[in-house]
Amino acid sequence: MNTEISNAQLNAFIDNELDVAEKDQLFTRIQADAELANQVCDLRAVKELVRHGYAEPPEATHSEWVRKFTIPKSLAAGVMLALGLSLGWMMHDFHQADNNLQFAQNQSKTQPNNFQLVSLAGVTEDTHKLLMHIDSADPAKFKALLDDIDALTQHQAALGQPIQVEVVASHSGLGMLRTDVTPYAQRISELEAQHPNVKFVACNQSIQRLSKTGVKVNLLPNTQITPNATEEIVHRLHDGWSYIKV
């Protein structure tokens, strides 16, 4: 009797994180099961939508965005896209992927050295949930991420519009949440204490991949675990969260 294929297995298959034997088994199942094949195609399509547009992010330098603008309360939601542009990241709206990507790239090209507050289709002043995804082990990039989370949460709180922020770490980015790797353990602890709405989440798929190589993964206190980073992103997008790929 064939065992049921879990979502975690399908995600690992699509992300090319299975070994050769596991891939062969899944290929055999997919060839014999049209419904499973359709499920794989649908899941791959959703993942590609999430990833769309991040291969060539606009070049920009990090700046201390909070000191560069003052906005009225009615425009507070636009700060999230502005944050993304100032760091050279892209904010992704699930329903407006292509248009938003082109708009943000045009802004970066036309205003390469100046900070400009812009709005994003689909993002309103009621948007108070932000998901950030890091898959890089670059300490400088992670420090910039922590700095801007701190500034953003303080800014929104001052406006009376607290924001929820979730940082998902996968692949090499997982190191930033490991006790024996990250240089920012104290900073993360302080950030969590100051801003209860900020949480850090580790991808279990990345943890398991390291475990297979003999690496024991010890995470920072309070770090939550999600079965799969991409699945978490898709889930949050469906729940109305905004997404920034670091």
pLDDT tens-digit series, residues 202-226:
999 999 999 999 999 999 999 999 9
Contact of 118 with 80, CB cutoff 8 Å:
no
User: Comparing C-alpha atoms, which of 223, 136, 210 is closest to residue 173?
Assistant: 136
Top-ranked range on mean pLDDT: pick from 74-78, 207-211, 233-237: 207-211
Contact of 179 with 185, CB cutoff 8 Å:
yes
Average pLDDT over residues 68-96: 40
All residues at 6 or more sequence positions from 72 whose CB lies less than 8 Å from its CB, including other chains: none
Tokens of 87: 């760091």
pTM of this structure:
0.56
Average pLDDT over residues 167-195: 95
For the chain, domains (ranges, CATH) are: 7-54 (no CATH), 116-245 (3.40.1260.10)
